[in-house]
Amino acid sequence: MDLVRSDNEVYYGLFERHNDLVDRWNDLNHYLVDAPPVGFPTRKKKRVLLSKGVILADLLRDFLEWYGDASRFLLHPRLVVRQDAEPDLTFLHYTNFLSHMISESNNNMVLVANNYHKRYQSFQSQINFWIAIASFVLTFVGLAATLMTIL
């Protein structure tokens, strides 16, 4: 390792915060992708989904804070490299790795937001489906009642 951890606390701090964000992202995305289909929408299911929305909002807020810090560090990097290492190559490697991490994290946040919106839209579609079924049944019952009174 060409960087000394004690001399590069900001850089390693960005990695630790990123790892925390990835853990939270994995938990949330796992729920959104692997949760069973909505079925019959209930208030409990809606509360669970809305609580995941709050978790997503917190995750996005923390991500934007990390994104700003990482981008500022990438614009003005301050890396302390060991004396026996090649400074230019080491600098290029670690800044390129941070740049890749920023890009990949941005894509992951877009993905989890899209997965949440897809799950929410699925819930709303189920509500509309059950309203349509209830309307059909009530219309059919009304038609049957009308036919019975005419006959």
pLDDT of residue 52: 93
Q: How many CB atoms lie within 10 A of CB 116?
A: 21
Structural domain boundaries in the chain: 5-126
pLDDT of residue 58: 97
pLDDT of residue 130: 81
Contact yes or no for 109/25 (Cβ under 8 A)? yes
CA distance linking residue 31 with residue 62, whole number of Å: 19
pLDDT of residue 1: 54
Pair of tokens at residue 130: 């059950």
String of DSSP letters for 39-58: -S--HHHHHHHHHHHHHHHH
**Tens-level pLDDT at each residue, the chain (151 residues):** 577 788 889 999 999 999 999 999 999 999 999 887 777 788 888 898 899 999 999 999 999 999 999 999 999 988 888 888 788 888 888 899 999 999 999 999 999 999 999 998 888 888 788 888 889 889 989 888 888 888 7
Residues near 17 by Cβ (< 8 Å), separated by ≥ 6?
Answer: 66, 69
What is residue 84's DSSP assignment? Answer: T
Q: How many Cα neighbours within 13 Å face the side chain of 132?
A: 6
CA distance linking residue 60 with residue 56, whole number of Å: 6
SS3 3: strand
